[in-house]
Amino acid sequence: MYATTMSETSAFLNPEALAEDLQVLARCRAGNEDAMAIVIAKHRRRLIRIAANVLRDRHEAEDVAQEAFIKGFRQLGRLRDDRAFASFLYRITVRLCMDKLRGRRAQPAIVDSPQASGEREVETKILAHDLLDRLSPDLKMTLVLREMEQLSYEEVAVVMGVPVGTVRSRLHTARERFREMWIQATVEA
């Protein structure tokens, strides 16, 4: 069961918002579709952004978010503390993304040389994404959640379901491997 909480949402800072969120989740448990629409509206953009940062495909990210909501609503009964719903939903999203990444085959990075000097920034972004794709799913997810989503170490640990020490270790490894690949790719260019 999931009993941990994620303090990033404003509901945890505002008791009235928390009470309202808990009421909406109670209505979701009863099958109220309007309440489900409220939950989807509140979390949809963040789930899509997390998935898009990891999968690099907006359409696939939207599919993952939709699947995460379906699983989240179906498994709402497993949740012991409704205050943990956001982290529960993010954890489902992360697992779905990791499943998709594991299912992909490694593809060689192909970066075309830019035609003009103004395209250097685009080339850098493409290279960064290609290098990120070369990391294992666990390392990539840890790096994306910490650096791109700006989650704290504790929040990454909750979302990924691992101890904070594991997050720190994975983050160190991911940064080192990324740095090494970056140096190799930029020296060769």
pLDDT digits (tens, 9 = 90+) for 60-85: 999 999 999 999 999 988 888 877 88
Minimum mean pLDDT among 3-12, 74-83, 87-96, 101-110: which range?
A: 3-12
Does domain 109-189 fall under CATH 1.10.10.10? My reply is yes
Under CATH, which number does the domain 1-104 receive?
Answer: 1.10.1740.10
The answer, yes or no, to whether residue 1 has pLDDT greater than 60, is no
pTM (predicted TM-score): 0.65
Q: How confident is the model at residue 11 (pLDDT cuts 50, 70, 90)?
A: very low
What are the sequence ranges of the domains in the chain?
1-104, 109-189
Gap between the Cα atoms of 162 and 166, Å rounded: 6
Q: How confident is the model at residue 139 (pLDDT cuts 50, 70, 90)?
A: very high
